[in-house]
Amino acid sequence: MTRRLTKSAKDSNPTELNNIFLPVSRQLQSVEELLKTWSGESSPVLKKMAKEVISNQGKLIRPGVLLLIARHLGYRGNNDITVAAAIEAIHVASLIHDDIIDGSDIRRGNKTASKSFGADFSLLLGDFFFIRSIHNIMSLKDRNLSEMITQVAQQMVEGEIEELAQSYNFSLSQAQYMKIIEKKTASLFLTSCRLACRLGKASRKEQAALEKYGLNLGLVFQIIDDLIDLVGSPLETGKSGFSDLKEGRITLPVILALKQTGPEAASQLESLLRKTKKGSEKENFSILLNILKKTGALDLTVLQAENLAAKAREAVMVLKPSPYRESLLDLVDFVIFRKG
Ligand code: FPP
Ligand code: MG
């Protein structure tokens, strides 16, 4: 068992997240309401689909980060709601598209859009959220904000394409993996921080610290996501397990296991990973999991996530003390100890 599973003193849960976001709970509520109005303006079929996706709300971590930072920096206008909603809409769009690509049926404990509406409709639904995000950011008439949103969307596409292209590449290096997750996931966390810095007119020093925070928080988020795909309980993750293995996605635990083992064990691991392609034989997964545990790859993965989490915490300590800063710090713990 990994340290995280046996020792995790501060298991995260949604109540804890509500507490973390308490200083911006009113604004987060407005973000949710704004997102609902976007779908309300569309055609009946689109409206129905968008409503279903929005009602299956996620944790709003990225908008929460943006709001906490903007408020910490002294921003007191309303544009942070629009920008936060745009960030969430990009996130929603990317997950709808990702579920089509991954062939995933379950997310957040519910059917994915692609399962409910089919790949064709959900592809267009993803496009809708993506375009609404850009449209709403543009309505603020700040070219810098619009550029940040389009730039991050491009990075996410690049990351997702690279990940897809590297499927079943057992020689994928840790550096390549880190670049992929930086682009597909951490970039949106970093951009949430950057957008907040623009709104709150951050100093150079604050901006550098917050960018470091966003990048590292995002990397931790994805590493833990990849870990809980292997060791998490579907009841807690709301997703079906081993989806990365089934799709041949080489994640950090697998990279580290391949590095730790000799050539013989590595080729056994590779052949098991190839077999998971055809079906979801339960025994294959338990053999795989045992190899990952025996090689220490799971513990090592946690260790690497902890190192990045430490960088995120260190970065945020550059800011002056405030309840918002406390929440940003607590969020690092939430992300690293989360189970879903
Ligand atoms: C989830 O990763 C997916 C992402 C973090 C990014 C997906 C990006 C795209 C589809 C391209 C960008 C699209 C737009 C509209 C900007 P995961 O599969 O590891 O996580 P999961 O287990 O939650 O599915
Ligand atoms: Mg996925």
Environment of ion ligand 2 (residues, CB < 5 A): 98, 102
Tokens of 154: 């491009």
Residue 2 lies in a domain: no
Length of the chain: 340
Looking at residue 313, its pLDDT comes to 98
Which tens digits make up the pLDDT trace of 210-253? 999 999 999 999 999 999 999 998 888 998 888 898 899 999 99
Largest pairwise CA distance in the chain: 61
Would you say 59 and 14 are in contact if contact means Cβ atoms under 8 Å apart? Answer: yes
Name the region of 251 (left: φ>0; alpha: ψ -120 to 50; beta: rest). Answer: beta
Nearest CA owner, ligand 1 atom 14 = 94
**DSSP class of residue 321?**
P
Three-state SS for 208?
helix
The H or E element containing residue 67 is helix 61-72
Residue 4 lies in a domain: no
Intervals of the chain under pLDDT 50: 1-11
Q: Ligand 1 in contact with 90 (CB < 6 A)?
A: yes
Residue 143 lies in a domain: yes
Q: What is the DSSP string of 146-170?
A: HHHHHHHHHHHHHHHHHHHHTTT-T
Residue 339 lies in a domain: no
Would you say 108 and 238 are in contact if contact means Cβ atoms under 8 Å apart? Answer: yes
Looking at residue 73, its pLDDT comes to 98
**DSSP class of residue 340?**
-
Residue 91 lies in a domain: yes
Query: How many Cβ atoms sit within 10 Å of the Cβ of residue 307?
Result: 12
Q: Which domain holds residue 43?
A: 13-330
Q: Ligand 1 in contact with 80 (CB < 6 A)?
A: no
Q: What is the pTM of this model?
A: 0.94
Residue 6 lies in a domain: no
Q: What is the CATH number of the domain that holds 84?
A: 1.10.600.10
User: Which atom of ligand 1 is nearest the CA belonging to 225?
Assistant: 22
Q: Across-strand partners of 110?
A: 107
Looking at residue 277, its pLDDT comes to 65
Residue 262 lies in a domain: yes
Would you say 188 and 300 are in contact if contact means Cβ atoms under 8 Å apart? Answer: no
**Total domains in the fold of the chain:** 1
Q: Ligand 1 in contact with 91 (CB < 6 A)?
A: no
Which ligand lies nearest the alpha carbon of 97? Answer: 1
Q: Ligand 1 in contact with 299 (CB < 6 A)?
A: no
Rounded to whole angstroms, how far apart are CA atoms 128 and 122? 9
Three-state SS for 61?
helix
Of 61, 88, 95, the residue with max ligand 1 atoms within 8 A of its CB, to mutate for a pocket test, comes to 95
Residue 37 lies in a domain: yes
